[in-house]
Amino acid sequence: MYTDTRTNMSQRIDEIDKRILYYLALDARNTATTDIAEEMDVTPATIRNRINRLEEQDILRGYLADVDYKSIEGYVTYQFICTAPIPDRFHLGQSAREVSGVVSVRELMSGSTNLIITVVGAGTDEINKIAGELSDLGLKIEDESVIEGEYHTPYNPFGPENISKGPSLTDFMSLAGGAEVVEFTVSEGSQIANKTIEQAVEENLIADEMLVVGIERDGEVLTPKGRTQIQPGDILSLFSKRPLDKSSLDVFGT
Most confident of 173-177, 199-203, 217-221: 199-203
The helix/strand/coil state of 72 is: coil
Q: What is the pLDDT of residues 83-124, one digit of tens each?
A: 999 999 999 999 999 999 999 999 999 888 999 999 999 999
More confident residue, 105 or 160: 105
The helix/strand/coil state of 142 is: strand
* Domain assignment of residue 226, yes or no: yes
* Domain assignment of residue 62, yes or no: no
* ∠ Cα 122 146 126 (to 5°): 25
Dist. CA 240–CA 176, nearest whole Å: 12
| Residues facing 77 on adjacent strands | 120
Q: DSSP class of residue 32?
A: -
- CATH number assigned to the domain comprising residue 233: 3.30.70.1450
Could you tell me if 86 and 47 lie in one domain? no
| Residues facing 118 on adjacent strands | 79, 104
Q: For 244, list phi and psi in degrees, rounded to 5.
A: -75, 135
Gyration radius (Cα) of the chain, Å: 23
Q: What is the pLDDT of residues 183-206, one digit of tens each?
A: 888 887 788 889 999 999 999 888
* Domain assignment of residue 189, yes or no: yes
Number of domains in the chain: 3
Which residues touch 225 (CB under 8 Å, ≥6 apart)? 197
Full residue range of the structural domain in which residue 224 is found: 164-252
Q: For 108, list phi and psi in degrees, rounded to 5.
A: -110, 145
Dist. CA 198–CA 178, nearest whole Å: 26
Q: For 114, list phi and psi in degrees, rounded to 5.
A: -105, 5
